[in-house]
Structure 1
């Protein structure tokens, strides 16, 4: 069984036998632990080696090694009791060391591995490395030997499971929903020990800290593991973490058994220096990288880089730009993410200097102390970005980014620039002003405008602006009485607030707006006639008002927006020909009009929106060669159209939406790189498509929606941190789903299901990222409704009811939290109609009319819902026939009475009585016919 006359079969030209051996071992380990599909996936990720691996496996099968599952019952002084597990290199048995009566874990080299050159040496190296180490986090080796040509080592028997097994057991879970007890359950812990207490993040940090302590012990004794990965870390039910398998370990000063350029280790957990095959560079910090990847995977339940091929995976590792931990798991705090990413730094010099340092920062997070790690500065991140995207870097360095003194390439001067700023800040008066101007040019202006349309740089923009704000605060400490410094600091607060708002960081945005306004108020008090101060205060009040409105805090929002309008009216009177002052005033009229849409004063809302449009048209005509004054026209056309659509004036709404689309198409043709124009066009095209669909113009609706979908899918890829873009993408897929159900083409139902499913998937991510924003939750509820409708059309009734149930859960919560929002109440009624809950629908309809007694629209809507209740009651087979008839009549009478109230409160277009299909159940009623007759002369 253990003959040694065979050797490794022939390989493909130029292939490294060590790497082939490693891949064969990894294949066998995956085959045993995760099944055939996972093992075959390894071959797909290594296409260049797949044929050689298959040939080696076939040779082993033909020689009978892969089928040789039987091992001797005794091996020297050990009696084998049963198999515990195994991997590609070895098999572990529970055994009794009879002379001592000690139960041990006995690891034997797999017979097939004896055919590979270096296998014995690797097995011996594991034993030698482990024997040098005595630590609670490293399984002690009792004895090493060879019996009948079969090497073995006896170790402490430890009960538990590997982190790879833990991750597999949790692969279908959402990381943000896990807690420490989930880890306890995964490892089969009888009780919740300290390591398993608290949050999931805390449990992960405790676990990895133990592993870091074990690595620190190994490193201080000159042993580098070189293969830190989840399957080599075990956690016991008692909460003990153990580092396993030192088969690839390298002792300091020891011989290297791998060839130059080969890559010992498991690729997904290899450091960049290992991937490059730089054997001399592999050291303790390489182990820290692997442990950082393990921590990332624990926090997110996904590896940082998931690629289809090994070549793509190598490229991703070398690029060193993993998706943010907090995007995959919002429960992870900023400092916790920083610790993880510092361990995973692509540059070894920027990682933790030692496992002890790593472990100390893990402890700092757990103890809520300040961490020692620091993220790469904005300049370093920009340099890395230029290395990954040289074409874009050329564009930036050739004129987009401007420094003091001329068009120098922005990213290439980061270290010298920082030193120059720090030095000049400490000099005399003239040098102080020069440094101040440098901050404005290098950080603030670049961060606010130059990088705004560059894909993937939202976080960098935020960091640049935060650095600028930090400089301004320092300047303010030195020059607290200097109005120029105070004014620029206020502006810096505004810039930071806008980026926070764009990234969905609403609490930080609100605080920054208030901080900026506090500085401006003191400036205005000292110089009330200074127009720039009032202009900036108007801008911050306006932006704060729109933020508060988006959060559903309407009274506060109105207060801020009215303050902004008052400030801007003063400026427009002082500067009647200034296009910027007039544009800002128009924006204030528009924003107040948008807010008034949700109040009874709809006429004032329309008046404000039309006033904004009129002012901006005058500005655009007076400035024909300045396209920046045409862009607001698109916004104002769009917002007016939203109001018109809300009032059922679909043709007028479609015309305004089309005007918004036309303006933005024209501007985008001249500036195709402008992401804000792309986003604005997508939003208007979406609204146009929805309006055309409602009017029955399905062909033009589909064209507009497909335009929006194409723009948004690319924008979401380029600007992954932009929550508003993902929200619009979900709404677009929702609209496409509804449109598909109106089509009679083959496959329409499947198309509707696909779009609705995608809408829910995207919007759930949006809500998880910004749970405080009610409008996003409303969109999610609406997406669930669309999914339910698509499922019902496909005959999947049970799934449809579940989707409607999810929608109801969101709408009920929104109505409870925002009782003055009529839209949420109307939407709740719509879903209740879909679920045929006529009793609850009738109650919700009465509450809608009762909450807004002065609004004829809501009386009309409530009447329509009660008319639908009449239809539902008439068809409710759970009621007795007489009860069905009586209840249907009751609902119908209540509906007619509410329609009468709507007329009394000013319903301007009673002709809609004839065309509204929701009122069909009322048409045979005498009181309804009488109402129609009395309304006709109107």
Structure 2
């Protein structure tokens, strides 16, 4: 059987084969693994070159790579002549002789080309992994030393950053012909391509199905099967209706908020490492096929200790996205708030599908950036939610001090929007709008100043006291929320600020909810440490939640907070009644899944697993998969936890859905590891250990559940010493003592240390929870909404294993 040639690959990809010849080629690909993998790599290279953006390359690189497609090609997967084959680790397409020779890499294609280098698709031969290889030819470096400096600075800046939303650098080096660095190959599309695509199909009022179709049309240019991603993670869940009256039109904007929150988190991390990006724009934000939003291209990054790139009158960055302080090119240091401005401009385009400052004249655009405010997103697109309009315009304030102080503060406001909480930012008041109006129209304003001032003075005198009270109430709430931020956490000052707001207006809903949230969070801190303080915190949370409910009886938020406070006090019947009321208020709201899942958790804690399963299943169904967010992943994970206890194989399907909704959740990986140890159909001890290690790392090595499951996974793999060590660490983190002593007893018995094993068995018996003495018994908890079920059967099985191991050692003949 003769293998296929590159000419065959090209004809198949371009759709120029006759039907009979096409059938022959496809039949050969089905039968020949080598040709199948070679064609997969060939198609990936062609697709990447056509789409110009499916890698970690910078916008300068990808923009230069754009151009007319070859005859017969209409984009990846659009001709109907490609077949989807599984991604396999195999030899790449033979590299062209014109590609540079770089030791340790085999170059398979070109992804992009720019003024200061080329980005290739390559294989790192030692690890046999696909990478994007950015190369600066030596001849360019010799002619332009500044290009070498920028190239090194980009690699140095990115290599210092290790974040789930920043494209990682694997390697950096120099050879005779070039400077180079390797980074993760990110199959996907830059946001500028996404904006262009969506501008032709306004998704503002799209249902989940509509948005899924739009993204599917975009993602067709990069096949998820060829990218090695789970196809279901690429687009929204088409089975979800998403068309409720309250949820309709918000699906797209909630997705935008999630993307921007992820980027803000990545930028805050970079700022914390002393790195300012300075070139944030849609082309440098890659939406991967697995749903991650990745920050790319640190070519203009400013590193704190690197004084060689301090701004001294030069313009850096892409013109349309630079901040006013960059546009003025003053001899001043531009700080991290320039990235917040540029991210706001990027968010503006996603909300409006047009630039904040359109036009082709550079001088005109610079003038507008410096002196004019763009129309608010809601004036361009009335479907934009008020909260996102406010957040976007706060980011784009001319004065850096008027913007969010940090990228984290911006991200936290976006998270509040996603969780249906009041945001901290507020639209500019009447005085601020007046000042901006005067600046724009000085001559017209001067003509009517006298009469306006007289009228304004009279009006101001009339409303002064009321306006001052409203402002103080708002200021108190924003200050209280600031002190609840993890970075500035101060419980007493937060409470004092909320109470100050209530002193001006005892019925202000925001300050009442702020106090409720403060006490619930404080309970998380002191629970298990100071029970009296924990009890008082719950009582206060309940008191303020009831006051908020009296002010807004038709608002589901006070009911939700009250239900949580009652559940934590084990007043399950009252919690069920309150949460049921919240559900009835807005049964079809886009966030109603919260109430369904919360009710499921309450029923589980009360011991009614049958009813709990009904509510958890309905909550997961309503959460859907169309929006990637941790709270939606929690709905699916809680269902999987209950099914795991019931030994239902469906738990695997649902924990996989949770992982696709939010792949960075340590508890999801913890439960996934347990399923691979406890469900016979999916038993895989080595894979369980890998997942448990990932969960422990994601949790910062501080989660007791993750530690205990990691200890169990080591036990399942016969690694006794590591199992004992992790069980000890779980105990140090205040985990349930009995299972960890039993794990150590098994490990010590297996290692031939019966005396220590017996001691741990005794301690396990001493600490054994009374509720878990009988077979089949269980205890369910749902701290912070995360369902966890302790099983008596698991403890009894561990004890049996420890006793059996001891008996085996005692009866074994001495060596």
Q: Give TM-score, length-normalised by structure 1.
A: 0.43
Between 1 and 2, higher relative CO (CA 8 Å, sep ≥ 6) is seen in 2
Q: Give TM-score, length-normalised by structure 2.
A: 0.48
Pick the structure with more helix per residue.
Answer: 1
